């Protein structure tokens, strides 16, 4: 099983009554207000299923019965397969997989320390570093290949990811049908053929709504192609409270649930049994700066609430977390990432995207990947909680040690401390004097050293040779 967090005791932000009210409101929005679905193919399909379709405005009104029937059609056992089996991610509602956040356009160059547009090499390096991290379970390419023609980025992004990680890859640069076809062909080359890819889809595909209450036709039909090939769909909605959603968090979550249910209805009507993941990133609009406040505490709360809603409907959830608007790995980055990550993890979200990026998911820092991985492991230790049984109470050990002595020499201590205690990689717990003797290094220094160690020591299982051959052929085709 892939690196993940086990949440022993959930801390929910919504009560059962809260969830019932949001669900009823979302269904009413779908039935009375509707969603603009800008795809003629989808409109015909929805009309045949019993939806009210206005061809002129593209607004579709979804009867509750149609929506509920499609909820029942969705695949309930979603697994995001790794290129190697040890990295399979089972979205079973009991584990949280931390995901590198994706589609940034800038990179802090690890060698020159210059901020610049991201390159294919950054996609590769960030995937390689993330592959080595215990606190990361799924790879969403942190950035895109800005140094290649736009019409070929989806090929470069996936090739660089496949060659540098064994973990599952979720990709978001396949927004047209022909891009999805390329991605499927490349993933099939890595899997050993299309049937093998269908059995063990080692990629998932992200497709989006346009909040509030709109679904673009081109992206939707691209998603249909992916789903027909057995690729899991992460349907990402982003109603920002105060901007593209109501200012109230419950209102924004209601819009998000309505859009996700509309998306699921479309995908199940087109391809029954589609593996559909409720996905969302809901950060408020900062009314002072007029920007999206990615690292706000409300982002964590909406992610937690949306995860609960997804689970109550029987779907896994991918939500935003570990997000910050800070420009560098500083104190602001630490407290914003922590605040946006803790609520959805404790609520049991299946996937949380955010590690590695700064500037509200814009710029990748390799050091930040390492720092965020450590943070996710620390939060994971809290989520795992405290196990109480005869062995953990250690009554006989307490009696044996007695009064005024220590437990360092006990076999029980040696057997248990590695699993019971969180042991950091880059956090420094030494004394002031010891810290000064070692060079007074900051956490950024130590994270940089860990990145260099990973580049020197880590290895990735080689990808099939067909991947390079297929990528070359596809690039030649698309360049023309």
- Whether 321 and 353 have beta carbons less than 8 Å apart is answered as yes
Owner of token pair 């973990």? 167
* CA 146-150-151 angle, 5° bins: 145
Task: Name the average pLDDT for the chain.
Answer: 95
* Full-model pTM: 0.94
- Whether 450 and 135 have beta carbons less than 8 Å apart is answered as no
pLDDT tens for residues 71-94? 999 998 899 999 999 999 999 988
> pLDDT-based confidence at 1, cuts 50/70/90?
low
pLDDT tens for residues 176-196? 999 999 999 999 999 999 999
Question: Domains of the chain, with CATH numbers?
Answer: 5-14+72-384 (3.20.20.480), 390-420 (no CATH)
pLDDT value of residue 15 = 97
pLDDT tens for residues 260-274? 999 999 999 999 999
pLDDT value of residue 323 = 94
pLDDT value of residue 256 = 98
């Amino acid at each position: 099983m892939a690196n993940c967090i086990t949440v022993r005791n959930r801390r929910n932000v919504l009560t059962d009554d809260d969830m019932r009210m949001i669900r009823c409101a979302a269904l009413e929005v779908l039935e009375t207000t509707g969603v603009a679905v800008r795809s003629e193919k989808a409109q015909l399909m929805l009309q045949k299923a019993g939806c009210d379709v206005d061809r002129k405005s593209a607004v579709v009104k979804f009867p509750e019965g149609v929506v509920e029937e499609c909820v029942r059609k969705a695949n309930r056992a979603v697994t995001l397969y790794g290129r190697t089996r040890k990295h399979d991610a089972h979205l079973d509602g009991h584990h949280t997989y931390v995901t590198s956040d994706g589609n940034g356009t800038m990179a802090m160059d690890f060698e020159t320390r210059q901020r610049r547009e991201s390159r294919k090499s950054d996609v590769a390096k960030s995937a390689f570093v993330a592959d080595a991290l215990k606190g990361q379970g799924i790879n969403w390419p942190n950035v895109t290949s800005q140094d290649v023609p736009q019409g070929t980025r989806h090929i470069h992004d996936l090739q660089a990811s496949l060659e540098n990680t064994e973990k599952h890859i979720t990709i978001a640069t396949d927004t047209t049908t022909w891009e999805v076809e390329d991605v499927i062909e490349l993933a099939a080359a890595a899997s050993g053929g299309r049937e093998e890819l269908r059995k063990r889809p080692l990629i998932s595909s992200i497709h989006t709504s346009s909040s509030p209450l709109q679904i673009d036709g081109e992206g939707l039909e691209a998603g249909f192609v992916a789903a027909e090939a057995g690729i899991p769909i992460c349907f990402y909605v982003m109603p920002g409270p105060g901007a593209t959603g109501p200012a109230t968090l419950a209102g924004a979550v209601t819009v998000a649930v309505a859009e996700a249910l509309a998306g699921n209805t479309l995908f199940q009507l087109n391809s029954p049994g589609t593996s559909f993941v409720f996905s969302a990133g809901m950060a408020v609009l900062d009314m002072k700066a007029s920007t999206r406040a990615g690292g706000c505490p409300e982002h964590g709360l909406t992610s937690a609430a949306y995860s609960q809603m997804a689970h109550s409907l029987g779907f896994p959830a991918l939500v935003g977390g570990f997000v910050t608007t800070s420009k560098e790995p500083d104190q602001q980055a630490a407290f914003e990432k922590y605040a946006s990550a803790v609520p959805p993890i404790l609520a049991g979200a299946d996937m949380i995207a955010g590690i590695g990026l700064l500037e509200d998911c814009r710029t990748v820092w390799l050091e930040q990947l390492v720092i965020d991985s450590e943070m996710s492991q620390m939060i994971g230790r809290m989520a795992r909680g405290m196990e109480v049984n005869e062995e953990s109470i250690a009554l006989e050990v307490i009696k044996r040690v007695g009064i005024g002595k220590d437990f360092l020499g006990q076999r029980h201590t040696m057997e248990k401390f590695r699993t019971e205690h969180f042991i950091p990689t880059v956090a420094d717990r030494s004394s002031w004097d010891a810290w000064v003797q070692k060079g007074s290094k900051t956490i950024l220094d130590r994270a940089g050293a860990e990145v260099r160690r990973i580049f020197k020591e880590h290895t990735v299982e080689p990808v099939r040779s067909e991947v390079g051959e297929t990528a070359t052929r596809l690039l030649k085709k698309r360049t023309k």
